[in-house]
Amino acid sequence: MVVAEVPKLASAAEYFFKLGVEGKRFRPTVLLLMATALNIHIPEPTAGGVGDTLTTDLRTRQQSIAEITEMIHVASLLHDDVLDDADKRRGISSLNAAMGNKLAVLAGDFLLSRACVGLAALKNTEVVSLLATVVEHLVTGETMQMTTSSEQRCSMEYYMQKTYYKTASLISNSCKAIALLAGQTAEVAMLAFEYGKHLGLAFQLIDDVLDFTGTSASLGKGSLSDIQHGIVTAPILFAMEEFPQLHAIVYQGFDNPENVDIALEYLGKSHGIQRTRELAMKHANLAAAAIESLPESNDEQIRKSRRALVDLTQRVITRNN
Rounded mean pLDDT, 59-68: 92
User: In which band, very low, low, confident or very high, does the pLDDT at 284 lie, cut at 50, 70 and 90?
Assistant: very high
pLDDT for 44: 46
User: In which band, very low, low, confident or very high, does the pLDDT at 14 lie, cut at 50, 70 and 90?
Assistant: confident
Q: CA angle, 200 as apex, 165 and 95 as ends, to 5°?
A: 70
- What is the number of H-type helices and E-type strands within the chain? 18, 2
CA distances 189 to 135, 181, 182, 294, Å, are 20, 10, 9, 10
Task: Write down the mean pLDDT value for the chain.
Answer: 86
Residue 113 has pLDDT above 50, yes or no: yes
Q: What is the DSSP letter of 90?
A: T
- Among residues 209, 180, 184, the alpha carbon closest in space to that of 279 is found at 209
Rounded CA-CA distance 54/38 in Å is: 15
pLDDT for 77: 84
pLDDT digits (tens, 9 = 90+) for 213-254: 875 444 444 467 788 778 899 999 999 999 999 988 888 888
| Homologous superfamily of domain range 25-38+125-318 | Farnesyl Diphosphate Synthase (1.10.600.10)
**Cβ pair 87, 97 in contact under 8 A:** yes
Rounded CA-CA distance 70/26 in Å is: 9
DSSP bridge partners of 92: 89
Rounded mean pLDDT, 57-67: 92
Query: CB-based contacts of 251: which residues, under 8 Å, 6+ apart?
Result: 150
Domain boundaries, the chain: 25-38+125-318
pTM: 0.88
Burial of 23 (0-12, 13-18, 19+ CB in 10 A): middle
**Cβ pair 33, 308 in contact under 8 A:** yes
DSSP bridge partners of 89: 92
User: In which band, very low, low, confident or very high, does the pLDDT at 153 lie, cut at 50, 70 and 90?
Assistant: confident
